[in-house]
Amino acid sequence: MWKPSLTRHKREDCGKKQLYPCPICHVTLRRSRQLKLHLSHVHNWNKPEYIM
């Protein structure tokens, strides 16, 4: 069960810089999906043109 998530972590996250900065609070996230969720949940913002 855990192997696919570990494989993805090694491929996408391990040792890499965070790539997606929030335009409002300047938090940086590693995945565009995390940025979308951050903007909608933390800032209640749903402007898709600003999201990669």
Write down the pLDDT at residue 38.
94
- Is pLDDT of 33 > 70? yes
- Is pLDDT of 50 > 60? no
- Is pLDDT of 13 > 60? yes
The alpha carbon of 40 is separated from its chain's Cα centroid by a whole number of angstroms, namely: 12
CA distance 15 to 50: 27
Tokens read off for 29: 């996230």
Write down the pLDDT at residue 32.
85
Tokens read off for 13: 């996250």
Domain assignments of the chain as residue spans, ordered by start: 16-50
**Its pTM surpasses 0.75:** no
